[in-house]
Structure 1
Amino acid sequence: MGVFTPKSAALFITAGIGLFFYFRYEKARLLEEREKERASRQYGWPNVGGPFSLTTQDGKPFTEKDLLGKWSLVYFGFANCPDICPAELDKMTTVVNTVQKEHGDIFLPVFITVDPARDLPHRIGRYLEDFHPSFVGLYGDYDSTKAVCKKYRVYFSTPPSADPNGDYLVDHSIFVYLMDPNGHFVEAFGQATSEKDVTEKIEGAIAEWEKETGRKV
Protein backbone atom coordinates (compact mmCIF):
# COMPACT_ATOMS: atom_id res chain seq x y z
CA MET A 1 0.00 0.00 0.00
CA GLY A 2 2.98 2.29 0.51
CA VAL A 3 3.61 4.91 3.13
CA PHE A 4 1.21 7.87 3.57
CA THR A 5 3.85 10.60 3.72
CA PRO A 6 3.27 14.29 4.50
CA LYS A 7 3.86 15.04 0.83
CA SER A 8 1.23 12.55 -0.33
CA ALA A 9 -1.11 13.81 2.36
CA ALA A 10 -0.69 17.36 1.09
CA LEU A 11 -1.38 16.22 -2.48
CA PHE A 12 -4.42 14.32 -1.29
CA ILE A 13 -5.78 17.35 0.55
CA THR A 14 -5.06 19.64 -2.43
CA ALA A 15 -6.83 17.24 -4.77
CA GLY A 16 -9.76 17.03 -2.38
CA ILE A 17 -10.07 20.81 -2.21
CA GLY A 18 -9.87 21.01 -6.00
CA LEU A 19 -12.58 18.40 -6.41
CA PHE A 20 -14.77 20.22 -3.87
CA PHE A 21 -14.62 23.49 -5.80
CA TYR A 22 -14.99 21.69 -9.13
CA PHE A 23 -18.18 19.90 -8.06
CA ARG A 24 -19.54 23.07 -6.47
CA TYR A 25 -18.95 24.89 -9.76
CA GLU A 26 -20.54 22.06 -11.75
CA LYS A 27 -23.55 22.02 -9.44
CA ALA A 28 -24.03 25.77 -9.88
CA ARG A 29 -23.63 25.46 -13.65
CA LEU A 30 -26.15 22.64 -13.87
CA LEU A 31 -28.63 24.57 -11.73
CA GLU A 32 -28.22 27.60 -13.98
CA GLU A 33 -28.74 25.50 -17.13
CA ARG A 34 -31.79 23.84 -15.55
CA GLU A 35 -33.26 27.24 -14.71
CA LYS A 36 -32.66 28.46 -18.27
CA GLU A 37 -34.30 25.30 -19.61
CA ARG A 38 -37.26 25.81 -17.27
CA ALA A 39 -37.62 29.42 -18.38
CA SER A 40 -37.43 28.37 -22.01
CA ARG A 41 -40.22 25.86 -21.47
CA GLN A 42 -42.25 28.38 -19.51
CA TYR A 43 -41.99 31.23 -21.99
CA GLY A 44 -41.45 29.11 -25.09
CA TRP A 45 -39.88 31.91 -27.10
CA PRO A 46 -38.11 29.61 -29.58
CA ASN A 47 -41.11 27.28 -29.85
CA VAL A 48 -44.33 29.29 -30.09
CA GLY A 49 -45.08 32.12 -32.48
CA GLY A 50 -43.04 33.54 -35.33
CA PRO A 51 -43.50 35.03 -38.80
CA PHE A 52 -46.89 34.71 -40.51
CA SER A 53 -48.92 36.58 -43.10
CA LEU A 54 -52.72 36.70 -42.98
CA THR A 55 -55.61 39.05 -43.79
CA THR A 56 -57.87 40.91 -41.36
CA GLN A 57 -61.66 40.89 -41.45
CA ASP A 58 -61.35 44.27 -43.19
CA GLY A 59 -59.20 42.82 -45.96
CA LYS A 60 -55.94 44.37 -44.73
CA PRO A 61 -52.65 42.48 -44.49
CA PHE A 62 -51.59 41.43 -40.99
CA THR A 63 -48.28 39.88 -39.91
CA GLU A 64 -46.56 39.02 -36.63
CA LYS A 65 -45.16 42.56 -36.63
CA ASP A 66 -48.67 43.92 -36.05
CA LEU A 67 -48.64 42.20 -32.67
CA LEU A 68 -45.77 44.38 -31.47
CA GLY A 69 -46.39 47.19 -29.02
CA LYS A 70 -49.33 45.62 -27.18
CA TRP A 71 -50.08 42.52 -25.16
CA SER A 72 -51.92 40.04 -27.35
CA LEU A 73 -54.34 37.21 -26.65
CA VAL A 74 -54.43 34.88 -29.66
CA TYR A 75 -57.10 32.23 -30.18
CA PHE A 76 -57.56 29.74 -33.03
CA GLY A 77 -61.14 28.70 -33.80
CA PHE A 78 -63.94 28.79 -36.38
CA ALA A 79 -67.23 30.64 -36.79
CA ASN A 80 -69.38 27.50 -37.01
CA CYS A 81 -68.20 26.29 -33.62
CA PRO A 82 -71.37 25.68 -31.58
CA ASP A 83 -70.15 26.32 -28.03
CA ILE A 84 -66.42 26.10 -27.21
CA CYS A 85 -65.19 28.97 -29.39
CA PRO A 86 -67.92 31.42 -28.28
CA ALA A 87 -67.19 30.54 -24.65
CA GLU A 88 -63.45 31.13 -25.09
CA LEU A 89 -64.02 34.41 -26.94
CA ASP A 90 -66.40 35.53 -24.19
CA LYS A 91 -63.70 34.67 -21.67
CA MET A 92 -61.16 36.72 -23.62
CA THR A 93 -63.60 39.64 -23.76
CA THR A 94 -64.12 39.58 -19.99
CA VAL A 95 -60.39 39.29 -19.29
CA VAL A 96 -59.47 42.15 -21.63
CA ASN A 97 -62.15 44.38 -20.11
CA THR A 98 -60.95 43.58 -16.58
CA VAL A 99 -57.25 44.07 -17.26
CA GLN A 100 -57.74 47.28 -19.24
CA LYS A 101 -59.66 48.88 -16.36
CA GLU A 102 -56.34 48.83 -14.51
CA HIS A 103 -53.83 49.28 -17.33
CA GLY A 104 -55.65 51.06 -20.13
CA ASP A 105 -55.73 50.11 -23.81
CA ILE A 106 -52.78 47.74 -23.84
CA PHE A 107 -54.40 44.60 -25.27
CA LEU A 108 -55.04 43.25 -28.74
CA PRO A 109 -57.37 40.21 -28.83
CA VAL A 110 -56.86 38.15 -31.98
CA PHE A 111 -59.02 35.43 -33.56
CA ILE A 112 -57.44 33.22 -36.26
CA THR A 113 -59.75 30.94 -38.19
CA VAL A 114 -58.86 27.29 -38.73
CA ASP A 115 -61.71 26.92 -41.23
CA PRO A 116 -60.54 28.93 -44.26
CA ALA A 117 -63.02 27.22 -46.59
CA ARG A 118 -66.00 28.88 -44.88
CA ASP A 119 -64.59 31.69 -42.72
CA LEU A 120 -63.93 34.38 -45.29
CA PRO A 121 -63.01 37.83 -43.91
CA HIS A 122 -66.51 39.34 -44.11
CA ARG A 123 -67.95 36.36 -42.23
CA ILE A 124 -65.30 36.62 -39.53
CA GLY A 125 -66.15 40.30 -39.14
CA ARG A 126 -69.82 39.53 -38.53
CA TYR A 127 -68.92 36.72 -36.14
CA LEU A 128 -66.70 38.92 -33.97
CA GLU A 129 -69.35 41.61 -33.56
CA ASP A 130 -70.64 39.68 -30.54
CA PHE A 131 -67.34 39.97 -28.69
CA HIS A 132 -64.81 42.63 -27.71
CA PRO A 133 -64.84 45.57 -30.17
CA SER A 134 -61.04 45.55 -30.51
CA PHE A 135 -60.93 41.94 -31.77
CA VAL A 136 -58.90 41.43 -34.92
CA GLY A 137 -60.06 38.48 -37.01
CA LEU A 138 -57.50 36.85 -39.29
CA TYR A 139 -57.96 34.71 -42.38
CA GLY A 140 -55.59 32.92 -44.74
CA ASP A 141 -55.80 30.28 -47.42
CA TYR A 142 -55.23 26.69 -46.37
CA ASP A 143 -51.45 26.81 -46.71
CA SER A 144 -51.20 30.07 -44.76
CA THR A 145 -53.52 28.71 -42.09
CA LYS A 146 -51.48 25.54 -41.79
CA ALA A 147 -48.27 27.59 -41.56
CA VAL A 148 -49.46 29.86 -38.73
CA CYS A 149 -50.93 26.89 -36.85
CA LYS A 150 -47.55 25.17 -37.07
CA LYS A 151 -45.89 28.28 -35.64
CA TYR A 152 -48.22 28.23 -32.65
CA ARG A 153 -48.25 24.42 -32.29
CA VAL A 154 -52.00 24.33 -33.04
CA TYR A 155 -53.72 21.19 -34.30
CA PHE A 156 -56.74 21.47 -36.60
CA SER A 157 -58.62 18.87 -38.62
CA THR A 158 -59.97 20.88 -41.58
CA PRO A 159 -59.02 19.07 -44.81
CA PRO A 160 -57.48 21.05 -47.70
CA SER A 161 -60.45 20.14 -49.92
CA ALA A 162 -63.20 21.15 -47.46
CA ASP A 163 -66.51 22.09 -49.12
CA PRO A 164 -67.39 25.74 -48.28
CA ASN A 165 -71.06 24.69 -48.25
CA GLY A 166 -70.44 21.60 -46.17
CA ASP A 167 -71.91 21.03 -42.73
CA TYR A 168 -68.89 19.85 -40.77
CA LEU A 169 -67.21 20.55 -37.45
CA VAL A 170 -63.51 21.25 -36.98
CA ASP A 171 -61.47 19.60 -34.26
CA HIS A 172 -58.72 21.93 -33.04
CA SER A 173 -56.50 22.86 -30.11
CA ILE A 174 -58.24 24.95 -27.46
CA PHE A 175 -55.74 27.44 -26.09
CA VAL A 176 -55.53 31.19 -25.68
CA TYR A 177 -51.95 32.35 -26.24
CA LEU A 178 -50.56 35.32 -24.32
CA MET A 179 -47.89 37.25 -26.25
CA ASP A 180 -45.92 40.11 -24.74
CA PRO A 181 -45.40 43.52 -26.44
CA ASN A 182 -42.20 42.22 -28.05
CA GLY A 183 -44.12 39.42 -29.73
CA HIS A 184 -42.77 36.72 -27.42
CA PHE A 185 -44.91 33.89 -26.15
CA VAL A 186 -45.58 34.05 -22.39
CA GLU A 187 -48.21 31.43 -21.59
CA ALA A 188 -51.06 29.34 -23.02
CA PHE A 189 -54.38 29.17 -21.17
CA GLY A 190 -56.46 26.05 -21.61
CA GLN A 191 -60.22 25.73 -21.67
CA ALA A 192 -60.32 24.79 -17.98
CA THR A 193 -58.48 27.95 -16.88
CA SER A 194 -60.97 30.34 -15.33
CA GLU A 195 -61.32 34.02 -16.17
CA LYS A 196 -60.03 34.84 -12.69
CA ASP A 197 -56.92 32.66 -13.09
CA VAL A 198 -56.21 34.05 -16.57
CA THR A 199 -56.53 37.61 -15.27
CA GLU A 200 -54.23 36.95 -12.31
CA LYS A 201 -51.58 35.32 -14.49
CA ILE A 202 -51.72 38.19 -16.97
CA GLU A 203 -51.38 40.73 -14.16
CA GLY A 204 -48.32 38.85 -12.95
CA ALA A 205 -46.83 38.71 -16.45
CA ILE A 206 -47.36 42.44 -16.94
CA ALA A 207 -45.70 43.26 -13.61
CA GLU A 208 -42.73 41.00 -14.39
CA TRP A 209 -42.32 42.40 -17.92
CA GLU A 210 -42.42 46.00 -16.68
CA LYS A 211 -39.86 45.17 -13.99
CA GLU A 212 -37.51 43.50 -16.47
CA THR A 213 -37.83 46.13 -19.21
CA GLY A 214 -38.25 49.20 -17.03
CA ARG A 215 -41.11 50.47 -19.15
CA LYS A 216 -44.83 50.24 -19.66
CA VAL A 217 -46.82 49.69 -22.84
Structure 2
Amino acid sequence: MSRFLFSSLKNRSAETLNLLKRSGQSKRFHSSSYLRSARRTTIPTVTEPIPTSHSWRSYIIPTALLGGIGGALIFLHYNDERRAIPKGQGKDCQRCTNEGPIIGGPFSLIDTEGRLVTERNLRGNWVLLYFGYTSSPDIGPAEVQKMANAIDVLESKKNLKVLPVCVTIDPQRDNPSQLRAYLKEFDARIVGLTGPVAAIRQMAQQYRIFFRKVEEEGDDYLVESSHNMYLMNPNMEIVRCFGVEYNAEELSEAIVKELKKTGT
Protein backbone atom coordinates (compact mmCIF):
# COMPACT_ATOMS: atom_id res chain seq x y z
CA MET A 1 0.00 0.00 0.00
CA SER A 2 2.75 2.48 0.93
CA ARG A 3 4.52 1.70 -2.35
CA PHE A 4 1.29 2.46 -4.24
CA LEU A 5 0.75 5.77 -2.39
CA PHE A 6 4.33 6.86 -3.00
CA SER A 7 4.02 6.08 -6.71
CA SER A 8 0.72 7.97 -6.93
CA LEU A 9 2.11 11.04 -5.19
CA LYS A 10 5.18 10.98 -7.42
CA ASN A 11 3.04 10.86 -10.58
CA ARG A 12 0.83 13.73 -9.36
CA SER A 13 3.91 15.86 -8.53
CA ALA A 14 5.30 15.27 -12.02
CA GLU A 15 1.99 16.19 -13.64
CA THR A 16 1.77 19.36 -11.54
CA LEU A 17 5.32 20.34 -12.48
CA ASN A 18 4.63 19.78 -16.18
CA LEU A 19 1.45 21.85 -15.92
CA LEU A 20 3.35 24.72 -14.32
CA LYS A 21 6.03 24.59 -16.99
CA ARG A 22 3.45 24.68 -19.78
CA SER A 23 1.65 27.67 -18.24
CA GLY A 24 4.93 29.62 -17.97
CA GLN A 25 4.77 30.03 -14.20
CA SER A 26 8.47 29.24 -13.91
CA LYS A 27 9.16 32.65 -15.52
CA ARG A 28 7.10 34.67 -13.05
CA PHE A 29 8.28 38.08 -11.88
CA HIS A 30 8.51 38.84 -8.15
CA SER A 31 7.66 42.47 -7.29
CA SER A 32 9.36 44.44 -4.59
CA SER A 33 6.27 44.15 -2.37
CA TYR A 34 6.44 40.36 -2.66
CA LEU A 35 10.13 40.35 -1.77
CA ARG A 36 9.41 42.40 1.34
CA SER A 37 6.58 40.10 2.39
CA ALA A 38 8.78 37.04 1.82
CA ARG A 39 10.94 38.16 4.71
CA ARG A 40 7.94 38.02 7.04
CA THR A 41 6.42 34.73 5.88
CA THR A 42 7.61 31.46 4.47
CA ILE A 43 4.53 30.97 2.28
CA PRO A 44 5.43 31.89 -1.32
CA THR A 45 2.90 33.65 -3.51
CA VAL A 46 2.64 33.01 -7.23
CA THR A 47 2.07 36.24 -9.21
CA GLU A 48 0.98 36.80 -12.79
CA PRO A 49 3.86 37.41 -15.27
CA ILE A 50 4.26 41.10 -16.17
CA PRO A 51 6.72 42.87 -18.50
CA THR A 52 10.17 43.39 -17.05
CA SER A 53 11.56 46.88 -16.33
CA HIS A 54 13.63 46.64 -19.50
CA SER A 55 10.57 46.13 -21.68
CA TRP A 56 8.52 49.09 -20.43
CA ARG A 57 11.48 51.44 -20.47
CA SER A 58 12.10 50.58 -24.10
CA TYR A 59 8.65 52.04 -24.89
CA ILE A 60 8.45 54.95 -22.43
CA ILE A 61 11.90 56.50 -23.02
CA PRO A 62 11.66 56.71 -26.86
CA THR A 63 8.12 58.05 -26.54
CA ALA A 64 9.26 60.75 -24.13
CA LEU A 65 12.16 61.69 -26.40
CA LEU A 66 9.91 61.88 -29.46
CA GLY A 67 7.42 63.98 -27.56
CA GLY A 68 10.12 66.39 -26.43
CA ILE A 69 11.61 66.70 -29.92
CA GLY A 70 8.18 67.23 -31.45
CA GLY A 71 7.35 69.94 -28.92
CA ALA A 72 10.65 71.71 -29.61
CA LEU A 73 10.06 71.64 -33.37
CA ILE A 74 6.55 73.05 -32.95
CA PHE A 75 7.90 75.83 -30.70
CA LEU A 76 10.65 76.76 -33.17
CA HIS A 77 8.24 76.69 -36.12
CA TYR A 78 5.83 78.97 -34.26
CA ASN A 79 8.52 81.48 -33.38
CA ASP A 80 9.89 81.41 -36.92
CA GLU A 81 6.42 82.27 -38.27
CA ARG A 82 6.19 85.18 -35.82
CA ARG A 83 9.53 86.51 -37.01
CA ALA A 84 8.66 86.12 -40.70
CA ILE A 85 5.22 87.76 -40.83
CA PRO A 86 4.78 91.41 -39.76
CA LYS A 87 1.74 92.11 -37.61
CA GLY A 88 -1.26 93.01 -39.66
CA GLN A 89 0.46 92.08 -42.91
CA GLY A 90 -0.20 88.40 -43.44
CA LYS A 91 0.12 87.42 -47.08
CA ASP A 92 -0.91 90.83 -48.40
CA CYS A 93 1.90 93.35 -48.29
CA GLN A 94 -0.59 96.22 -48.58
CA ARG A 95 -2.11 95.43 -45.22
CA CYS A 96 0.99 96.01 -43.14
CA THR A 97 -0.06 98.29 -40.27
CA ASN A 98 1.70 100.26 -37.58
CA GLU A 99 0.74 97.81 -34.81
CA GLY A 100 4.43 97.16 -34.36
CA PRO A 101 7.14 95.86 -36.67
CA ILE A 102 8.71 92.50 -36.04
CA ILE A 103 11.16 92.61 -38.95
CA GLY A 104 14.26 94.70 -39.48
CA GLY A 105 17.35 95.18 -37.38
CA PRO A 106 20.82 96.70 -37.22
CA PHE A 107 23.08 96.77 -40.25
CA SER A 108 26.48 98.08 -41.28
CA LEU A 109 26.96 98.92 -44.97
CA ILE A 110 28.82 101.38 -47.25
CA ASP A 111 27.28 104.26 -49.18
CA THR A 112 28.20 105.35 -52.71
CA GLU A 113 30.99 107.55 -51.32
CA GLY A 114 32.60 104.68 -49.46
CA ARG A 115 31.40 105.84 -46.03
CA LEU A 116 30.17 103.49 -43.33
CA VAL A 117 26.40 103.71 -42.79
CA THR A 118 24.40 101.97 -40.05
CA GLU A 119 20.74 102.14 -39.07
CA ARG A 120 21.70 104.79 -36.51
CA ASN A 121 22.70 107.18 -39.29
CA LEU A 122 19.19 106.99 -40.74
CA ARG A 123 17.32 107.61 -37.50
CA GLY A 124 15.36 110.82 -37.33
CA ASN A 125 14.18 110.49 -40.95
CA TRP A 126 11.18 108.93 -42.56
CA VAL A 127 12.78 106.37 -44.88
CA LEU A 128 11.52 104.66 -48.03
CA LEU A 129 13.66 101.54 -48.32
CA TYR A 130 14.04 99.38 -51.42
CA PHE A 131 16.24 96.36 -52.22
CA GLY A 132 17.32 96.12 -55.88
CA TYR A 133 20.36 95.89 -58.16
CA THR A 134 21.78 97.85 -61.04
CA SER A 135 21.72 95.02 -63.61
CA SER A 136 17.99 94.41 -63.24
CA PRO A 137 16.48 94.50 -66.76
CA ASP A 138 12.88 95.54 -66.01
CA ILE A 139 11.24 95.55 -62.57
CA GLY A 140 14.24 97.02 -60.75
CA PRO A 141 14.55 100.20 -62.83
CA ALA A 142 10.76 100.67 -62.77
CA GLU A 143 10.69 100.45 -58.97
CA VAL A 144 13.60 102.87 -58.53
CA GLN A 145 11.90 105.31 -60.91
CA LYS A 146 8.66 104.96 -58.96
CA MET A 147 10.54 105.70 -55.76
CA ALA A 148 12.12 108.81 -57.32
CA ASN A 149 8.75 110.08 -58.63
CA ALA A 150 7.00 109.51 -55.31
CA ILE A 151 9.71 111.36 -53.41
CA ASP A 152 9.47 114.24 -55.86
CA VAL A 153 5.69 114.47 -55.39
CA LEU A 154 6.01 114.36 -51.60
CA GLU A 155 8.60 117.12 -51.56
CA SER A 156 7.25 119.45 -54.25
CA LYS A 157 3.49 119.10 -53.67
CA LYS A 158 3.15 117.96 -50.07
CA ASN A 159 6.20 119.63 -48.56
CA LEU A 160 7.12 116.34 -46.92
CA LYS A 161 10.61 114.90 -46.79
CA VAL A 162 11.15 111.15 -46.98
CA LEU A 163 14.65 109.78 -47.43
CA PRO A 164 14.88 107.24 -50.31
CA VAL A 165 17.35 104.41 -49.71
CA CYS A 166 18.27 101.68 -52.18
CA VAL A 167 20.20 98.65 -50.92
CA THR A 168 21.78 96.44 -53.58
CA ILE A 169 21.26 92.68 -53.45
CA ASP A 170 24.11 92.19 -55.94
CA PRO A 171 27.18 93.46 -54.07
CA GLN A 172 29.57 91.41 -56.23
CA ARG A 173 28.89 93.75 -59.16
CA ASP A 174 27.41 96.81 -57.45
CA ASN A 175 30.41 98.55 -55.92
CA PRO A 176 29.99 102.13 -54.64
CA SER A 177 30.88 103.81 -57.93
CA GLN A 178 28.64 101.52 -60.00
CA LEU A 179 25.72 102.08 -57.64
CA ARG A 180 26.29 105.85 -57.58
CA ALA A 181 26.26 106.12 -61.37
CA TYR A 182 23.12 104.00 -61.60
CA LEU A 183 21.07 105.89 -59.00
CA LYS A 184 22.16 109.28 -60.35
CA GLU A 185 20.22 108.51 -63.53
CA PHE A 186 17.00 108.42 -61.51
CA ASP A 187 17.44 110.90 -58.65
CA ALA A 188 20.56 112.14 -56.89
CA ARG A 189 18.65 112.18 -53.59
CA ILE A 190 18.49 108.38 -53.45
CA VAL A 191 21.00 106.98 -50.96
CA GLY A 192 22.69 103.85 -52.31
CA LEU A 193 24.08 101.20 -49.95
CA THR A 194 26.30 98.23 -50.71
CA GLY A 195 28.86 96.21 -48.79
CA PRO A 196 30.28 92.72 -48.22
CA VAL A 197 28.15 89.81 -49.37
CA ALA A 198 27.72 88.56 -45.79
CA ALA A 199 26.47 91.96 -44.61
CA ILE A 200 23.95 92.21 -47.47
CA ARG A 201 22.66 88.70 -46.81
CA GLN A 202 22.29 89.42 -43.11
CA MET A 203 20.30 92.59 -43.73
CA ALA A 204 18.13 90.88 -46.35
CA GLN A 205 17.38 88.12 -43.87
CA GLN A 206 16.47 90.59 -41.14
CA TYR A 207 14.12 92.43 -43.49
CA ARG A 208 12.70 89.21 -44.96
CA ILE A 209 13.89 89.99 -48.48
CA PHE A 210 14.16 86.98 -50.78
CA PHE A 211 16.76 86.92 -53.55
CA ARG A 212 18.79 84.39 -55.53
CA LYS A 213 20.89 84.22 -58.68
CA VAL A 214 19.23 82.73 -61.75
CA GLU A 215 20.27 82.08 -65.36
CA GLU A 216 23.96 82.08 -64.45
CA GLU A 217 26.49 82.00 -67.28
CA GLY A 218 29.83 82.76 -65.75
CA ASP A 219 29.80 86.34 -64.46
CA ASP A 220 26.52 87.05 -66.25
CA TYR A 221 23.37 86.35 -64.27
CA LEU A 222 20.05 87.78 -63.11
CA VAL A 223 18.82 88.10 -59.55
CA GLU A 224 15.33 86.94 -58.71
CA SER A 225 13.92 88.77 -55.70
CA SER A 226 10.95 90.18 -53.87
CA HIS A 227 10.35 93.84 -54.77
CA ASN A 228 8.83 95.30 -51.63
CA MET A 229 9.37 98.87 -50.46
CA TYR A 230 9.31 99.61 -46.75
CA LEU A 231 8.18 102.87 -45.20
CA MET A 232 10.06 103.33 -41.96
CA ASN A 233 9.44 105.89 -39.24
CA PRO A 234 12.19 108.03 -37.61
CA ASN A 235 12.85 105.21 -35.12
CA MET A 236 13.68 102.88 -38.03
CA GLU A 237 10.54 100.85 -37.43
CA ILE A 238 8.61 99.50 -40.40
CA VAL A 239 5.23 101.20 -40.66
CA ARG A 240 4.04 99.84 -43.98
CA CYS A 241 5.25 97.97 -47.04
CA PHE A 242 4.29 98.40 -50.69
CA GLY A 243 4.30 95.96 -53.59
CA VAL A 244 4.88 96.49 -57.29
CA GLU A 245 1.16 97.09 -57.89
CA TYR A 246 1.47 100.68 -56.60
CA ASN A 247 2.25 103.48 -59.02
CA ALA A 248 4.07 106.66 -57.97
CA GLU A 249 0.88 108.63 -57.22
CA GLU A 250 -0.65 105.84 -55.14
CA LEU A 251 2.62 105.34 -53.32
CA SER A 252 2.95 109.02 -52.42
CA GLU A 253 -0.69 109.23 -51.27
CA ALA A 254 -0.31 106.17 -49.07
CA ILE A 255 2.84 107.64 -47.51
CA VAL A 256 1.03 110.94 -46.84
CA LYS A 257 -1.72 109.06 -44.98
CA GLU A 258 0.81 107.24 -42.82
CA LEU A 259 2.66 110.45 -41.96
CA LYS A 260 -0.60 112.22 -41.08
CA LYS A 261 -1.42 109.46 -38.60
CA THR A 262 1.62 110.52 -36.58
CA GLY A 263 0.97 114.24 -36.96
CA THR A 264 3.98 114.78 -39.23
TM range (shorter): 0.7 to 0.9
Partner amino acid, structure 2, of 1:93: A
CA contact (8 A) 2:111 2:191 kept: yes
Which blocks of at least 5 consecutive residues in structure 1 are unaligned? 1-36, 211-215
Partner amino acid, structure 2, of 1:133: A
Aligned-residue RMSD, C-alpha: 2.2
Note the alpha carbon deviations across 1:104-156, whole angstroms, 9 max, x for none: 46221001010111111111011111112211100121110111101111001
TM-score, normalised with respect to structure 1: 0.73
CA contact (8 A) 1:47 1:151 kept: no
Structure whose alpha-carbon radius of gyration is higher: 2
Tell me which residue corresponds to 2:239. Answer: 186
Instruction: Write the distance in 1 (CA, Å) between the matches of 2:101 and 2:164.
Output: 22
Question: Which 4+ runs in 1 deviate beyond 6 A?
Answer: none
CA contact (8 A) 2:129 2:231 kept: yes
Tell me which residue corresponds to 2:208. Answer: 153
Tell me which residue corresponds to 2:172. Answer: 117
Tell me which residue corresponds to 1:53. Answer: 108
Instruction: Write the distance in 1 (CA, Å) between the matches of 2:138 and 2:155.
Output: 26
Which blocks of at least 5 consecutive residues in structure 2 are unaligned? 1-86, 91-95
Instruction: Write the distance in 2 (CA, Å) between the matches of 1:169 and 1:197.
Output: 29
Matched pairs, number: 172
Tell me which residue corresponds to 1:31. Answer: none
Partner amino acid, structure 1, of 2:152: N
CA contact (8 A) 2:151 2:161 kept: no
Q: CA deviation at 1:87?
A: 0.4
Alignment of 1:69-88 (within 5 A): 69-88=124-143
**Would the alpha carbon gap of residues 188 and 81 (structure 1) be closer, same or farther in structure 2, given more than 3 Å must change?**
same
Among 178, 197, 219, which residue is 1:166 paired with?
A: 219
TM-score, normalised with respect to structure 2: 0.60
Tell me which residue corresponds to 2:98. Answer: 43
CA contact (8 A) 2:101 2:239 kept: no
State yes or no: 1:196 paired with 2:249.
Answer: yes
Structure ranking higher on relative contact order (CA contacts 8 Å, 6+ apart):
1
